[in-house]
Structure 1
């Protein structure tokens, strides 16, 4: 079912603004309206930039624990404050009593706060000379927290948050030496807030494939989390099925944090409710798991029309064909 537009109160045509170096920023809009348009997406500069960003971070976290030492820049600290604000708004917006069990309507109240404040929140992250990009980048932040019409959340929303971080890198707010902090601090904090949203407002999984999907809500932490394990001296893929290992090691590995959340949210045999992950546990090496998950992410998320029809393109993530 096509996603209803989330109103931003503006149209891309009248929302172009120039940065000090002459770049014209624009409010991103949808460009993929029919299945044949998917070819435009695969050939686009946005696809090349987005996938390059995911793979760069995948390489940066390879073999590293969440507890390792890394630089924490001022922008990273501001991002954590922003996510802390979103978290606080959940506490200030308790669920309402309603007959239906899922999709608590209080989520819409929470979302409307973000809709109103997003541009100003993003503006505070940007260098002075790229403040004009705030309206463009804020769209990805708003898209990253779920859909206010259907009160659901899925891997397309997660991709919007990665796109948000990618745009912050493209305008110079985040630097190359922020890579570990982007995954281990910022993205991890984002996951915490999204899990709290999912639990508080009983959000539906967006476009869930049920037991045939990797996870109801996330994908990227499994990719980056498997990279953390590459060349680990003792932990093999089969070990994430061991509850003791999960409980002891989850604070160091994103993959295990995800498994712990699944174990908390689902009942019954793991092989039944998370069949794809169960299959992954039989792969002999983490490097193979990591490569397989990247292929799966492209096939199951980035090349699926129901996901990509909602992706928005602007000046920073452009629908124009990528440079050869």
Structure 2
């Protein structure tokens, strides 16, 4: 679906038809090892495809409620089953008693299951013609759930899940008409599983900027969530800091769902524990919030070496420069 963007040079339908012939699948690996390598990332086909994908989904969910009607394909159902498996494994892997409050080591047991099963799980989602892609795409799924050494999670892991979905589009497993289901069903379910992981194993935020970051763990649901609210007849950015508004409307809007989770997890005045979001509440309309968050995402996530040094490149998301 990134390929519907002009910069990436082909359509999703083309990818679907040509996937096995077009790509020589490889196990993705890191390519950004020093700060000067960041230019290579910004010029890469992967960056163009990834940003194109994020912006395509942003357009796809504008002015739409989570509860609206949309197509749910067989692939989307299979992805929901996959995420349901990850959720079930959390129930089967309770936290262990340990002296430190954060970073429960039972997470590593949970992660080891995914490490072993990721390729098989991804294979269940792929069409037969794209079966050889499982090994490559599974790497992004494993990267999307946090780090087993540090027992932390952050926007780089979230980006890996978006990259996972982008790869599924490139091999034709997901199609253009899956856009809304990708955000409203699949990504939303992914958020539920990640929140459960964060709470169950007391995961640390990866590279948190404290109160100066947008959120300890996520960024994309704020972008897509603000797109949903563009031109809303009654809800303005200033309203999302009101508990009554959040509690009434969170089932319809991803942005408010995120605010609800923050309110449950943090104590004290909102302006203190979530200063950046507090500042956003002063922006006059949701279109400006959406545009500002996209700029902020590029600057604070995609332009930051500590985040991008962990990004992995393969045949589907290539480190090669964008073709002119």
- Same structural fold, with TM-score higher than 0.5 when normalized by the shorter chain: yes
Match of 1:208 in 2: 208
- Residue 319 of structure 2 aligns to a residue in which SS? coil
1:21 Cα deviation after fit: 2.1
Match of 1:241 in 2: 241
1:323 Cα deviation after fit: 1.9
Match of 1:217 in 2: 217
Whole-Å separation in 2 of the counterparts to 1:30 and 1:43: 16
1:128-277 correspondence to structure 2 within 5 Å: 128-277=128-277
Whole-Å separation in 2 of the counterparts to 1:45 and 1:297: 18
> Which protein has the bigger helix share?
2
Whole-Å separation in 1 of the counterparts to 2:124 and 2:186: 16
Query: TM-score, normalised on structure 2?
Result: 0.94
- Residue 310 of structure 1 aligns to a residue in which SS? coil
Query: TM-score, normalised on structure 1?
Result: 0.94
1:61-76 correspondence to structure 2 within 5 Å: 61-76=61-76
Contact 2:154 2:207 in 1 (8 A): yes
Whole-Å separation in 2 of the counterparts to 1:20 and 1:71: 26
In the alignment, structure 2 segments of 5+ residues that lack a partner are: 1-18
Match of 1:312 in 2: 312
Whole-Å separation in 2 of the counterparts to 1:301 and 1:223: 13
Whole-Å separation in 2 of the counterparts to 1:142 and 1:168: 15
In the alignment, structure 1 segments of 5+ residues that lack a partner are: 1-18
- Residue 25 of structure 1 aligns to a residue in which SS? coil
Whole-Å separation in 1 of the counterparts to 2:230 and 2:24: 41
Match of 1:39 in 2: 39
Match of 2:281 in 1: 281
Whole-Å separation in 2 of the counterparts to 1:87 and 1:284: 38
- Residue 21 of structure 2 aligns to a residue in which SS? coil
Whole-Å separation in 2 of the counterparts to 1:20 and 1:84: 28
Contact 2:23 2:316 in 1 (8 A): no
Shift in alpha-carbon separation, 1:303–1:20, aligned structure 2, 3 A: closer
State the number of aligned residues.
Answer: 307
Shift in alpha-carbon separation, 1:268–1:20, aligned structure 2, 3 A: closer
**Structure 1 runs of 4+ with >3 Å offset:** none
RMSD: 1.0
Whole-Å separation in 2 of the counterparts to 1:40 and 1:127: 32
1:23 Cα deviation after fit: 2.5
Whole-Å separation in 2 of the counterparts to 1:21 and 1:268: 56
- Residue 261 of structure 2 aligns to a residue in which SS? helix
1:147 Cα deviation after fit: 0.1
